[in-house]
Amino acid sequence: MNVSPTGRVVTLTANPSLDRTLALPGPLERGAVARLGASSTEPGGKGVNVARAVAAAGGDVVSVLPAADDDPIVHALHHLGLRLATVPVTVPVRTNYTLTEPDGTTTKLNEPGAPLDDVARTALTAALHEHAAGARWVVLSGSLPAGTPVDWYAQLVAALRDTGARIAVDTSEAPLLALLAAGPASAPDLLKPNTEELAQLAGVAEEDLLGDRDATLAAVRILHDRGVAEVLLTLGGDGALLSTDAGGLWAALPPAITVRSTVGAGDSSLAGYLLADLAGAPPAERLRTAVAYGSAAASMPGSAVPTPDQVDGSAVRVSTEAPSEARSAPPGTVTHSTAPANPSTPVPAPAAGRGLR
């Protein structure tokens, strides 16, 4: 898939990790001994994953994170050629473990990460602001370390407004709730929830959204009412939705793939969206690229990120509503559809709501 990004992306990963992927020979059995297959260790954390995917496409990206100069994650990212802005901390970066089963089922074991003190947070804020000046996008992504104020992302969005960069956020639980509770000044330009996170924001059970398009779109409208300009809702094996505050609505179905690991697939989706935006693509193509990138990542082992030649946007089906019709027509009314050029035989895909995170 050809993308020609123009403009810089800056990512913040407040809680980076070394992602250790362990391949199980069969289903995980509690209390049993498993003889592992191939394993891998990759630099990770959601913002780092976005930066890796953008860099793999030839994009200009700076990754801001807390880590000592001699930390293994710094060596790994330098080896990949990523440009870093690091704030030294004394505790080594955490390790996250992913157990993958042959059918693509993954079990995550995440360490909490080292707390960030006021000095480290102030330095990260300054580094982020410095590199955001003149950038096209800033990405605030992932969990926050223990002890970090839950409204830190909300503070950062407001503080970054004077840089002129657009701001994307992908987080969950308390930081996500605090972000939307802080008011329009802290609302990001782009929010990328899955259905579990959308349900948290709407104050409903996830089961109330799954399979109910009207309820899902009503929850998305709540985010627009709170000031979010664009919502990229990832739906795992069911694809994704893109909604804008101008009333635009697009849906995309992913190609049929064999799932190997869903770890980092949502981060690749976000990277694909940003790459398409940097290339000047319209909303439908931004969504197409996001789903194509997420699907490509889910078909790869561990937390690997795809390169453009591993991404097939023509296999993604996008359905579009015109902005005026999106406001007046019943949710789900499709006025235009582009079918995949290369349909294939369906194979297992991630469960809706979590698979592309």
pLDDT digits (tens, 9 = 90+) for 123-144: 999 999 999 999 999 999 999 9
Structure pTM? 0.87
pLDDT class of 236 with cuts at 50, 70, 90: confident
How many Å apart are CA 231 and CA 224, to the nearest integer?
8
Note the pLDDT tens digit of each residue in 95-130. Answer: 999 998 988 888 999 998 889 999 999 999 999 999
| CA 42 to each of CA 22, 106, 114, 118, 183: distance values in angstroms, whole numbers, following the listed order | 12, 16, 19, 28, 37
- Separation between Cα atoms, residue 220 and residue 242, nearest integer Å: 10
pLDDT of residue 293: 96
Quote the tokens at residue 37.
């297959």
Whether residue 121 contacts residue 88, with contact meaning beta carbons closer than 8 Å, is answered with no
User: DSSP character for 256?
Assistant: P
Task: Give every CB contact of residue 139 below 8 A, 6+ residues apart in sequence.
Answer: 9, 10, 11, 12, 47, 50, 167, 168, 169, 170, 270, 274
Q: Catalytic site residues?
A: 267
